[in-house]
Amino acid sequence: MTISVVDVAGANFRTDEASDELNSEFMKRLGMKKRYLPARLALSRSLGVPMIPEPIAADADWGKTIKGDTFFGTGADLMSWIALVVQHNPDQEYDLKTLVAAVAAHWRRGLRLLDADWKQSGEDISKFVRTLVEHAELPLSGRMKLRDRPQKIDAFSSVGLIAVPVGEISTEVNTGAEVEWSLNGPGCSPHSAVMGGVGSGKTRTAVSILRAVRASAPLPIIAFDFKGDLATDESGGGYHLEQLFDATVIEPPRMPVPLDVLALRSRDEIDLSQGASRFRESFSRLKGARLGDKQRDAVYEAASRALRTRTPCELDDFQSELLNVYAEREIKEDGAIAAAREVCRFPLFAPELSPEEFFKRSWIIKLPPHVVEESRSIVVNLVLDALDQYLNSLPDTAVADDGSRGMRIVAMIDEAHRILGSRLPSLSNLVRMSRSKGGAVMLISQSPDDFSGEEDDFLSEMGLVAAFSTNAPSKAAARILGRGANLATLSTGQAYVKRRNDNAARKVQSWSTK
């Protein structure tokens, strides 16, 4: 490593122009007078994410510079910052140029993460700070007092640490050491992504993890099954997930989802408005909806009217109001109307259970390829939205004496590439915000590439990433797992596994044909 403290102190650090503008915006939001303050906060936020940030292209439009001794301070402060950046990617050969590039990438990613945290906190500074504390696992004085006194345990929340193997074998290939993943320990994340090509064993491994979780705590599951093999099929095959979790298997539209999916927490103006906005965002993700400004406003107005006048409110109610709005405004029928008709063509939901009743039980929702795409999409979108709203309306789960946080539910999406890239706000919210509420999200997909279309890089929030053999580009694999993770060279049953606090991915034998 050919670099000195003097070199860093005198160097110019910068990020891309758009991120620099966001840096200035955070100065206003947080009442900061110096540019280096949000820059340091952003760098800290990014360094807390194990994955290596995407580098900024050399020909990018660049923002204003900050001198090293201003950005990092001097003496021990400066050396500490250098050490943190270098240790985040220890395989990198560092000189001053690569250090400046690494800081630029972290600075950009950190600002994006902070911006997402700010929006998720409702632009409330106190909630924003609590979110940052949650990410850092710092002890708030109030939290410490809470731990010191007896707590009421949620009847539907786990108690104690849940640590599980990553598959049926779960041993490190090089050393033979056993590998475990802690879902709910201090500093851990309960969310996971399991990736691999067809026949690689990704679903097999995911089910093995779920089996170990269920053995540790009687958590319910909500599973979306796009292939149709999670539950026992007519031939007796499948992964028997319904037996493991005592789950009810439903296959809309033959059996509608028995959930009051458009239920509101209250009838006040704020909840009505937020409910209409959430529905609009879910509806706008449907293929073919093509919502411009006029259509978005019309969909919002129709959803608002339906929610105000119908209890329970159903998709047919929304369709009726949307037709009324179009007629009143003399808007010619378009893709939004066509999409509304398509999702109302079949009975996808039956408002039999409230969200509280529904999500305390286990369900496997089968959405195989023969179900029309609009039906599959709206079911996933609205159920995830209902889960997000329900979980985030609950108090935080209790923290046990060992520092583990209680868990309430696991949401699993098999063949998640079918919805990744559609930028579902509810999915992002569940990954970023549900940890303290006891939620865990498991995404099973084919390749690291599947996550590249997500506007919100929530893959960085995963507590476990396991990647089996696939032909994914090395750049995509390196972004998630670090340098040297060539997924095409993995043997049968092997995966690169990276947990949230790991410095690097390790090669793990997850299962075997022997």
Rounded Cα–Cα distance for residues 217 and 41 (Å): 37
Q: Assess contact for 219 and 158: CB atoms under 8 A.
A: yes
CB 466 within 8 A of CB 208: no
- pLDDT value of residue 144: 35
Position 455 scores a pLDDT of 42
Q: What are 257's two structure tokens?
A: 């989802």
Alpha-carbon distances, residue 439 vs 10, 282, 381, 391, 429 (angstroms): 46, 20, 17, 7, 11
298: three-class secondary structure by DSSP: helix
Given CA atoms 226, 227, 229, 233 in this order, what sign does their dihedral have? Answer: positive
Q: How far is CA 334 from CA 290, 295, 323, 340, in A?
A: 9, 9, 11, 10
- pLDDT for 412: 96
Angle (CA) 137 141 143, round 5°: 60
Length of the chain: 514
Residue type, 338: A
> Please, are residues 251 and 369 in contact by the beta-carbon 8 Å criterion?
no
Torsion of CA 441, 442, 445, 450, to 10 degrees: 30
pLDDT of residue 153: 38
- State the pLDDT at residue 503: 83
Q: How far is CA 144 from CA 174, 185, 398, in A?
A: 41, 16, 12
Q: How far apart are CA 57 and CA 376, in angstroms?
A: 38
pLDDT, residue 142, reads 37
324 burial type by CB count under 10 A (0-12 exposed, 13-18 middle, 19+ buried) = middle
Q: Which of 389, 365, 364 is nearest to 279 (CA)?
A: 389
Ramachandran area for residue 62 (φ above 0: left; ψ -120 to 50: alpha; else beta): beta
Phi then psi for 499, rounded to 5 degrees?
-95, 165
CA-to-CA dists, residue 419 to 373, 375, 424, 426, 446, angstroms: 11, 13, 8, 12, 12
pTM (two decimals): 0.72
CB 250 within 8 A of CB 366: yes
**With a cut of 70, which residues of the chain have pLDDT below it?**
1-2, 50, 120, 134-159, 234-236, 288, 421-422, 452-458
> According to the model, what pLDDT value does residue 418 have?
79
Peptide bond into 312 cis (omega under 30): yes
Q: How many DSSP H helices and E strands does the chain contain? A: 18, 16
Terminal CA-CA length for the chain: 45
What distance in Å separates the CA atoms of residue 508 and residue 409, rounded to the nearest whole number?
Answer: 27
Residue extents of the structural domains in the chain: 5-136, 163-260+354-509, 269-343
CATH number of 163-260+354-509, picked from 3.30.70.270, 3.40.50.300, 3.20.20.100, 3.40.190.10: 3.40.50.300
The predicted structure's pLDDT at residue 210: 96
CA dihedral 213, 216, 217, 220 (to 10 degrees): 20
Q: What is the pLDDT of residue 150?
A: 36
Closest of 497, 465, 391 to residue 435, by C-alpha: 391
CA–CA separation, 212 and 283 (whole Å): 36
| 363-366/439-445 β-pairing | unpaired
β-pair partners for 66 = 13
CATH 2.40.110.10 fits domain 5-136? no
- Listed in order, strand segments (DSSP E) in 308-435 are 349-353, 363-366, 409-413
Rounded CA separation 396/440 (Å): 14
Q: What letter does residue 311 receive in the DSSP assignment?
A: S
Task: State the DSSP code for 110.
Answer: H
- Amino acid identity of residue 248, one-letter, is T
Beta strands per DSSP E along 228-340:
248-250, 257-259
Parallel, antiparallel or unpaired: strands 506-509 and 494-499: antiparallel
